[in-house]
Structure 1
């Protein structure tokens, strides 16, 4: 195997290249959350059903998550810069289409196309850091900045959306992507070089189809059950999706060049970090989506005020991402992974103090505490993925890290959001499927409106409590099973012996990715 180019870039070009790459990264992350505060406005303009509203929110994340690994491999094989350029152009076109959509179906379609484009951008953008920063210390710093930007995009998406909606129509939340895309297309060919890997085999199309179909079918069945109630079609869809995912995993174990190298998960540090990439995003996206509705439709805040309420948590999350690499270097990966889950647990439990009549302060406190945990998780997962593999597999490893983030983001809305929707359907006044639709019913009495708001808050509390329980369990698992000697991912002893690819030249544990002399063996 070989990767080109081999010569390290000048320092100035490397940092300017990083700056250019961060533009699309920020956009892809922002578009995962920019609609959280905008959904009441979108609902008023396009009148989507409850099921369509959920798809508008999370089809983007599922499209990104289901294709990230495939596009990570494509970038490794056929050129990361070429994929970045094509993906950025498609992202811009799809953003324009979404902004001008006139029906829920069109908006869902363009959001899905944006997700496909986003899947081309993230793994190649993170993998190109290996070429820009061959020095491990500088690469770690660059990955920290990358993670901070990605996290900041998630965090400020609702804030940016709220500010735009205060002055413009809902489509403006997508049109802001166009200037950033144009700037990237102009500067990327100048500052970035083409990087590709040879000898890693072809993309396995059946694996791509199985992963994408499995995720979409399984989640569609779950969402349909939550929105409409259980039925044979929804159950069959969910089971079919689960079987497709099972076959996908079995296929990866047999392929010489799989889309996901499952050997990475034999290292407990990497495996727990990958789950840490998924679960916090699931909690964050669900609470941000439900919280946006809570602030506006329950407490009656304007979209601008709701955006300002979300600002402290976004700021804390971003600052934490920037400072986490230094904290990890001092206290170790194990302590960081454990701490992030318990911080998120505590922050989510603060939401249980919110009520129908008040709770803005509790909501802000929750976002600040969880923001520290989220920031740690985003930074640790990204750095672990890059450090765990040889450079020629950087795109695929980056894709695993970003896939866990994006799938977590989409699953949070689909599963926890569907749970809240189910509870609203069971406990609410049974006037309409969602709170916003219920409050717009002509002649709705004050008592029924209060019942609807109370049912929604109960759904929010249940989703937050379940997410807190899962984080507490994962934090306890990490505390028990991660080695105490585990420091920064780049110096953490691997927990299993790597099987070096033929001809790679890794003769000892010191030469294996992420390893060093004296590495622990099972």
Structure 2
């Protein structure tokens, strides 16, 4: 019996892919827009430090918390329907955010925006599985979709900075409105609908348990990264982990689980989740440090720092697409291994950055890292989605998105904490004479506070403190980079051992046949019917 050849995607599917990339880009943009608007926002709304913190964090918290739930909801009510509902709420929440007239309204609007964003990522990613049935085309589509997330992280600071130069603090959030309108108009015409025919009822207890696991865990990790060890974040993390264990145990006993735990018995799936988690974590963690370095040490504005990301993001996007194409010829594991090794070279270059380094070395190291790790992240997401059954693509897509969110939070926490600890210790050993008491304590907290303190001290002492803080921060990045190199090399070895067996190399193409012979031996679709 001849194997059934998957139907190739047509113009409608590829145009639909572009439409699906737009909300993916926006969800990443909105993570950075509020940070840039803080100076103007603070002047207009006068929020307390706690209110400002919640307005910044609640968007990411609720995205992470609701992704798994929304992925399963999409399989129950229809992935396209959930995407349309999410587009409406995302547009409304964007307007409410832009015109918030109090800190409380801003926090509420950002919370609604986070829940709406949680409907977009799993819906768009799982629809790709329905639209692109050919494995090679599906991998390419997922790669393009993944790069849209990366682009959002660069476009956000650039577009936001330009709008903030001419309008009020809320103007950048209105960028989402025309995109959501386009999605609502084009979606029904271009995107297919899909429901899991055996979806069953949504287990509300599992929904509650997933939120009780993810939200406290993400909060705990972020707060521990920001403030160091404190009782409340530590307890919150433990509570999240406890509910996570309970959630897994419950899923194993359900006939129709919220998250199919059996997916993790597939080596390709579980190794891809682990690789994506660690790769995203290292990239987000080091990008967090580099953003601080570029703005505090090199003195760039957020918009300038965003523009300098273009020489990084563009080669990375090209590498992701090229890597995907190569993986279709030689298999995914060799490309993953090569990407991890190239990424480790980028971190190696970063170890040469010091407090006096210019922009070039930072950009070159970032570009090498991104060229190596962008294909790893794209293929990791693609493997997670492609190895799951089509009826569980929504849950698998949600898990891939959740892995990205958790990876970012954990990466910033661990990499940031390591670099901060090294920074404080190094600065203590190199503080200039005349920096004592509160000034010393403030400078030790962060390189940003050190810059503020240096500006308040007499010229020579302030200059020496600034130089010492810059060198200490660069040393923190150096140590974090060495640790990252070790993690990447260990991941490459793990992929070589485990994933090569789970994802064998593509089969060789069939031998070409003499013209006319194929017509005699292979029935046409009409003859098969």
TM range (shorter): 0.7 to 0.9
Contact 1:95 1:175 in 2 (8 A): yes
Does the aligned pair in 1 maintain the 2:225–2:416 contact within 8 Å?
no
TM-score scaled to structure 2, two decimals? Answer: 0.81
Q: Which has the higher helix share?
A: 2
Q: 1:483 to 1:464 in 2, by over 3 A?
A: same
> Where does structure 2 lack aligned partners over 5 or more consecutive residues?
1-5, 429-439, 509-529
Q: Which residue of 1 aligns with 2:485?
A: 468
Per mean C-alpha deviation after superposition, the further-off stretch among 97-106 and 188-197 is 97-106
Distance 2:478 2:167 in 1: 32
When residues 311 and 48 of structure 1 are mapped into structure 2, their CA distance, relative to the original with a 3 A threshold, is farther
Cα drift, residue 368 of structure 1: 0.9
**What is the match of residue 448 of structure 2?**
436
**Residue 369 (structure 2) pairs with residue 391 (structure 1):** no
Mapping for residues 405-420 of structure 1, pairs under 5 Å = 405-420=404-419
Distance 1:111 1:410, change over 3 A: farther
Structure 1 window deviating more from structure 2 (114-123 vs 407-416): it is 407-416
Is the CA contact 1:37–1:162 (under 8 Å) kept in the aligned structure 2? Answer: yes
Shift of 1:369: 0.8
1:298 matched residue in structure 2: 297
- Give the deviation of 1:326 after TM superposition: 0.9
**What's the counterpart of residue 284 of structure 1?**
283
Question: C-alpha distance in 2, partners of 1:491/1:344?
Answer: 28
Equivalence for 1:249: 248
Secondary structure of 1:430's counterpart equals: helix
1:75 positional shift: 0.4
User: Residue 372 of structure 1 corresponds to which residue in structure 2?
Assistant: 371
Map of 2:432 onto structure 1: none
Q: What is residue 148 of structure 2 aligned with on the other side?
A: 149
CA distance in 1, matches of 2:236, 2:205: 19
Query: Would the alpha carbon gap of residues 487 and 101 (structure 1) be closer, same or farther in structure 2, given more than 3 Å must change?
Result: farther
Instruction: Decide which moves more: 237-246 or 27-36.
Output: 27-36
Pair 1:174-2:191 in alignment:
no
CA contact (8 A) 1:54 1:413 kept: no
Distance in 2 of aligned mates of 1:263 and 1:77: 19
* Matched residue, 1:89: 88
Separation of aligned partners in 2, 1:29 and 1:252: 30
Q: Is the 8 A contact 2:94 2:113 kept in 1?
A: yes
* Farther-moved stretch of structure 1 (79-88 vs 386-395): 386-395
**Structure 2: distance between partners of 1:104 and 1:335:** 50
Residue 380 of structure 1, CA deviation = 0.7
* In 2, Cα distance between equivalents of 1:153 and 1:47: 28
CA distance in 1: counterparts of 2:448 and 2:104, whole angstroms: 19
Rounded Cα–Cα distance in structure 1 between residues aligned with 2:272 and 2:47 = 37
CA distance in 2, matches of 1:74, 1:247: 21
Give the secondary-structure state (helix, strand or coil) at the position aligned to 2:196: strand
Deviation at 1:329, TM superposition (A): 1.3
**Which structure has the larger Rg?**
2
Contact 1:353–1:359 under 8 Å retained in 2:
no
Displacement after TM superposition at 1:305 (Å): 2.9
Larger displacement relative to structure 2 (310-319 or 143-152):
143-152
Shift of the 143–230 alpha-carbon distance from structure 1 to 2, 3 Å rule, reads closer
Say if 1:32 and 1:472 are closer, same or farther in 2 by CA, change over 3 A: farther
| Structure 2 CA distance for aligned equivalents of residues 162 and 405 of structure 1 | 25
8 A Cα contact 2:222 2:410, kept in partner: no
Deviations 1:213-262 (A, max 9, x none): 32332343344445445343333222222212222222222222222222
SS in 2 for 1:368: helix
Give, in angstroms, the shift of residue 274 of structure 1. Answer: 1.3
CA contact (8 A) 1:151 1:321 kept: no
The 1:49/1:380 distance shift into structure 2, 3 A limit, reads farther
Q: Distance in 1 between matches of 2:239 and 2:270?
A: 26
Gaps of 5+ in 1: 1-6, 493-522
Q: CA deviation at 1:88?
A: 1.1
Are the counterparts in 2 of residues 64 and 118 from structure 1 also a CA contact under 8 Å?
yes
Pair 1:460–1:213, CA change in 2 (3 A): farther
TM alignment of 1:460-499, pairs within 5 A: 460-483=477-500, 486-487=503-504
Looking at structure 1, the residues matched to 355 and 217 of structure 2 have their Cα atoms a distance apart, in angstroms, of 33
Cα deviation for residue 327 of structure 1 reads 1.1
Deviation at 1:146, TM superposition (A): 2.1
Counterpart Cα distance in 1 of 2:277 and 2:77: 28
Distance 1:291 1:391, change over 3 A: same
Aligned counterparts of 1:396 and 1:109: Cα–Cα separation in 2: 27
After superposition, residues 55-204 of structure 1 pair within 5 angstroms as 59-101=58-100, 107=106, 109-165=108-164, 167-204=166-203
* Bigger mean CA deviation after superposition, 46-55 or 311-320: 46-55
Shift, 1:387, TM fit: 2.1
Compute the displacement of 1:100 (Å): 4.0
Q: Is the 8 A contact 2:295 2:301 kept in 1?
A: yes
Aligned-pair CA distance for 1:334: 0.9
- Residue 295 of structure 1 and its aligned partner are, at CA, apart by 0.9
Alignment of 1:184-263 (within 5 A): 184-263=183-262
- When the two chains are superposed, the root-mean-square deviation of aligned CA atoms in Å is 3.4
Aligned to 2:357: 358
Q: Cα deviations across residues 149-185 of structure 1 (Å, max 9, x unaligned)? A: 2333345444444444455555343222221112112
Question: Is the CA contact 1:127–1:398 (under 8 Å) kept in the aligned structure 2?
Answer: yes
Q: 1:275 to 1:290 in 2, by over 3 A?
A: same
Q: How many residues align?
A: 485
Please tell me whether the aligned partners of residues 218 and 409 of structure 2 are also in contact (alpha carbons under 8 angstroms): no
CA distance in structure 1 between the aligned counterparts of 2:95 and 2:65, rounded to whole angstroms: 23
Whole-Å Cα distance in 2 between the matches of residues 168 and 464 of structure 1? Answer: 39
Shift of residue 108, structure 1, vs aligned partner: 5.0
